[in-house]
Amino acid sequence: MKIFRERDEMVITRVQKYPKFMKYRYTYLMISIVALFVLAPLFEQRIPLIMPLLFLGLMIAVLGTLDLRPSILRIMIVFALIGFCNSMIARVFQLSPQNAHNFYVVGLSIESLFLFTAITILIRKIFSEKNITTDTIKGGISVYFLMGFLWTYLYSLLLILDPQALALAKPTFEFSILTYFSFTTLTTLGYGDITPVSWLARNLTILESTIGQIYMTVLIARLVGLHIAGKQLDRRTPVEDK
């Protein structure tokens, strides 16, 4: 099954219309990810509605980066809208995970599925690029951040199903706190202030830390190597032509 649009179709519909965006699309994606990363802890408690809006911006940036076929794009848009509406309803009506258990489970599951699908497609697209540029490397780094956010949602879902799965100073479902735990696990930093307790939580942390290390040491290193090799080839080509 084809996921991406044909190259000729993409040129007609996007490259000619948005040349600057297409050239720096991974840079824009990375900016939206960093914005979510920085703004979430600042406004999560003060302006609760900011979280679904930030996540919606991230989903739009992800979908704008990919050249998906219309049928696949529609499915991804449905996932994004359901996740956004779910988060908005929860915050507008001040629904707590304890009082709206099934509602949160469905919403977090859909958001996790969206991120997992987006990460899979992005990896396939980035590593199929013929010309590896600095912008492409930023796309690879963006995937690394998206992995951290994916596990944030998985830990949130796990805590709803089992509130004792993680040893926290106080019971919480705050996005910023679980993001902190996710990224300290992804980078294998692990301060130890939050620890996995249940077997499922432990398996999730093992999986996240292992994937994070493999991705950085193998895939990102490969992207950088291809980028350097491409630049060296470009420097030698004029001399060889003479």
Tell me the average pLDDT of the chain. Answer: 85
* Cβ pair 93, 87 in contact under 8 A: no
* Cβ pair 166, 107 in contact under 8 A: no
Mean pLDDT of 187-203: 92
pLDDT in tens, 125-153: 888 888 888 999 999 999 999 999 999 99
Q: Could you tell me the two tokens for 171?
A: 């019971």
pLDDT in tens, 86-109: 888 988 888 888 788 888 888 899
Measured CA to CA, the distance from residue 139 to residue 122 in angstroms comes to 8
pLDDT computed for residue 5 by the predictor: 61
pLDDT in tens, 220-236: 998 998 888 877 766 66
pLDDT in tens, 161-184: 999 999 987 777 888 899 999 999
Domain borders along the chain are 7-163+171-241
Stated as kind and residue range, the H or E segment containing 166 is strand 166-167
Q: Is 85 helix (H, G, I), strand (E, B) or coil?
A: helix
Q: Quick one: residue 188, left, alpha or beta (phi over 0 = left, psi -120 to 50 = alpha)?
A: left
Verdict on whether the full-model pTM lies above 0.85: yes
165 burial type by CB count under 10 A (0-12 exposed, 13-18 middle, 19+ buried): buried
Beta-bridge partner residues of 167: 195
**What single DSSP character describes residue 5?**
P
Mean pLDDT of 32-57: 86
